[in-house]
Amino acid sequence: MRILILGGDGYLGWPCALHLSAAGHEVGVLDNLARRAWDRELGYESLVPIAALPDRIDAWTRVSGRRMDVFVGDLRDAGFVHASLRAFRPDTVVHFGEQRSAPYSMIDREHAVFTQVNNVVGTLNVVFAIAELDPRIHLIKLGTMGEYGTPNIDIEEGWLTVSHKGRTDRVLYPKRAGSMYHLSKVHDSHNVEFACRTWNLRATDLNQGVVYGHWTEESGCDPVLATRFDYDQVFGTVLNRFAVQAAIGYPLTVYGAGGQTRGVINLIDAVDCIRIAAENPPEAGEFRVFNQFTEQKSVGQIAQSISRVYPGRCRIESVEDPRVEAEHHYYQAAHTRLVDLGLVPNLMDDEFLSSLLSVVERYRHRVRAEVIPPTVSWRPNANVAAPRRVVSTR
Amino acid sequence: MRILILGGDGYLGWPCALHLSAAGHEVGVLDNLARRAWDRELGYESLVPIAALPDRIDAWTRVSGRRMDVFVGDLRDAGFVHASLRAFRPDTVVHFGEQRSAPYSMIDREHAVFTQVNNVVGTLNVVFAIAELDPRIHLIKLGTMGEYGTPNIDIEEGWLTVSHKGRTDRVLYPKRAGSMYHLSKVHDSHNVEFACRTWNLRATDLNQGVVYGHWTEESGCDPVLATRFDYDQVFGTVLNRFAVQAAIGYPLTVYGAGGQTRGVINLIDAVDCIRIAAENPPEAGEFRVFNQFTEQKSVGQIAQSISRVYPGRCRIESVEDPRVEAEHHYYQAAHTRLVDLGLVPNLMDDEFLSSLLSVVERYRHRVRAEVIPPTVSWRPNANVAAPRRVVSTR
């Protein structure tokens, strides 16, 4: 199968490209290298050193004997998108090519508008290119569990059957997103569902939980193949951040009460989910939604887990929650459809946590503690001042 | 009350500005004059001649003794939005300032992307300006009944109480929009709801039905105060189009089976709904939704009504539906909240239809039949070719 990975230079996109290539697919990588630019903007750096994209590609060819096509450009450039798809002729397009940080989108108005325009326009350009070139191309679009928010009813996989006043319909699951970034994904979902319904496209929307971990079988083959490891307040996800905090003796900073519960997924499983979705495409016209996570954990539970494998070395500390969100809430989300298709989950057990901590220990000399505390606030007045505070961490 | 009307030069915005001014409010008009530019782009013209914005404003001062402030600029320009709100100090912002045609948004990729970026970014800029300047400002945002689509369950006013697996929540009513334009309004609704929930803004989302008519008490005072009257395939709404078709002996072109049912509202009521919403603001933090229409009608019923008041002169003709939509469907939508606040509906009766036809008769020499037939198609291949066909109507 020919698979084009949009955002194939990122934290998830790169190991996904490797995984699909190793599974025997013909892989192309498309990226505008924006993620590296945002690090430079904010003064951050991946804990684990990452190679330049051409070096990554060369190393993979050396290790595996397999090549990858590369397209460097921006999804907001419709001509570039159209030309890349026409040149690569994919069967499947995997779309990671978005600004994916909630705090980044909440820095200020400019970052909010950038995030929504970047994500919505990029996705529209991809959808139009598919509709014009070949509507049979399967679009696998990364969404987020955060689109649903934390409703007081069970979260289903994208669709909900509603009975109301004696009548019944199957509707898109109602959304209540928690940031300008999460909203951009809600907008994408509506746009892509429209394209399936109106133009008979086929799409899989993967509402992904919080991804953690660093190692995959393929990216672990050679240091040049390593993917990025973020622990800063803007791009770092909770477990990876706690691991770094534990390693340097920094308190594990739980936001507020720590009862915020989310679906989480190991990077190994996240990239395998993409393979499973690609190898099992939906019907023409189908807007298929999978909830892509393997376990539900609260922030407090994750802190406890790290504390358990690092006995006596971790202090858990509550800091004021910079986000506007419920700190205690009901949370029960379905996630059976990927397992039905063959996903075998790698859970957040102590063995895994120890291996994650050993990665962090290896690079602890690179940790810069000043990028850990949250300065981007969801509150509007703080919001206006936030960008300067972020920039001052350079 | 100080009320700033965004898009105050448009079909609805202008008579709304007059109506609010006549009701004793201090009114400002903000517009980028884009609606006039889209006419030039597509080679269309309002059936009823419209005066330039400065002449409209001067005429209103002459007629009423009341003045209006004017701000000419683009909502995508955040600095302009911020400066205008800071200068005018509104209590209420009424937001009509969007690209509001479904066919325009479906011409091609460029028009789709323009519509979504224009509408989403403009609204975000307004929301950020309110959050930064004064969160007490009441935002009245024009949405559309088209956000809901045509679900098989009753449509409620913005929110839906859902029971699922023994638990209950109140959620945003699920959306299934029918065009890139309607999707842009869905995106806006999610963004504004987030701003209310997170920043404690107060907003009224008016999901408006299809507006028809031309005359209002204020705009009827002087020909210079007339609002526009669109009958072309892109900006014309169904009843206004049928009236023109009847007047020139053109068949009443019903799309497909004509069973498409929508909420409709007289222009007189539409502008009074804005007054009612402004004078009865929601609480801080409330995202309030009203369905702003007075009657449900199918396209076929509207054609029959016109035919009845023009006996023997109308031929109803079905043309292939250029849209991808259900031509027969369940439709039952709540619309009680504005009536509860005092709206007294003006219905689509024969007296009204006769008066509409007399407006059209007066200007029938200006009708250009070639702008009536639909050439913008919802189908992707037609879609690619559509813009040239539209441009050829110049």
CA–CA min distance B386, chain A (Å): 13
Q: What is the pLDDT of residue A382?
A: 61
CATH topology of domain B2-391: Rossmann fold (3.40.50)
pLDDT value at A11 more than 90: yes
Q: Which of B190, B168, B167, B186 is nearest to B177 (CA)?
A: B186
pLDDT value at A370 more than 80: yes
Residues in B closer than 8 angstroms to A378, CB to CB, are 198
Q: Please name the member of B152, B198, B199 whose beta carbon is closest to the beta carbon of A169.
A: B152
State the Cα–Cα distance between residues B372 and B234, nearest whole angstrom: 9
Q: What is the pLDDT of residue A312?
A: 84
Q: B277: part of which helix (H) or strand (E)?
A: helix B267-279
Q: What is each CA distance from A266 to A69, A213, A214, B91, B280, in whole angstroms?
A: 27, 6, 8, 50, 50
Q: What is the pLDDT of residue B379?
A: 86
In tens, the pLDDT along A88-118 reads 999 999 999 999 999 999 999 999 999 999 9
Q: What is the mean pLDDT of chain B?
A: 95
Give catalytic residues of B, as residue numbers: 144, 181, 185
The amino acid sitting at A315 is R
Backbone phi and psi for residue B114, each to the nearest 5 degrees, phi listed first: -55, -50
pLDDT value at B34 more than 60: yes
Which residues 143-182 of B are in CB contact (within 8 Å) with A?
151-154, 160, 162-165, 167-169, 171-178, 180
CB A192 within 8 A of CB A218: no
Residue of chain B whose alpha carbon sits nearest to that of A122: B113
Is B265 an interface residue toward A (CB < 8 Å)? no
Q: Do A154 and B165 touch (CB under 8 A)?
A: yes
Locus of tokens 């448009």:
B10
Average pLDDT over residues B352-378: 95
In tens, the pLDDT along A132-161 reads 999 999 999 999 999 999 999 999 999 999
CA–CA min distance A14, chain B (Å): 28
CA–CA min distance B103, chain A (Å): 14
CB A101 within 8 A of CB A181: yes
Q: Please name the member of A174, A194, A198 whose beta carbon is closest to the beta carbon of B174.
A: A174
Q: What is the mean pLDDT of chain A?
A: 95
pLDDT value at A254 more than 50: yes
Per-residue b/e over B8-44, b at no fewer than 16 CB within 10 Å? bbbbbbbbbbbbbbbbebbbbbbbbebbbeebebbeb
Residues in A closer than 8 angstroms to B178, CB to CB, are 194
Is A128 an interface residue toward B (CB < 8 Å)? yes
Is A23 an interface residue toward B (CB < 8 Å)? no
Instruction: State the DSSP code for A278.
Output: H
In tens, the pLDDT along A21-77 reads 999 999 999 999 999 999 999 999 999 999 999 999 999 999 999 999 999 999 999
Q: Do A176 and B193 touch (CB under 8 A)?
A: yes
Which residues 99-118 of B are in CB contact (within 8 Å) with A?
109-110, 112-113, 116-117
Neighbouring C-alpha atoms within 13 Å toward the C-beta of B283: 3
Q: If you write DSSP's letter for every residue of B280-347 in order, what string do you get?
A: SPPPTT-EEEEEE-SEEEEHHHHHHHHHHHSTTT--EEEE--SS-S-SS----B---HHHHTT-----
Which ipTM value was assigned to this complex? 0.96
Rounded (5°) CA angle A29-A200-A158 = 75
State the Cα–Cα distance between residues B86 and A129, nearest whole angstrom: 42
In tens, the pLDDT along A174-215 reads 999 999 999 999 999 999 999 999 999 999 999 999 999 999
pLDDT value at B72 more than 90: yes
Query: Residue A111 corresponds to which tokens in the numbers above?
Result: 């970052």
Q: What is the pLDDT of residue B380?
A: 73
Q: What is the pLDDT of residue B382?
A: 61
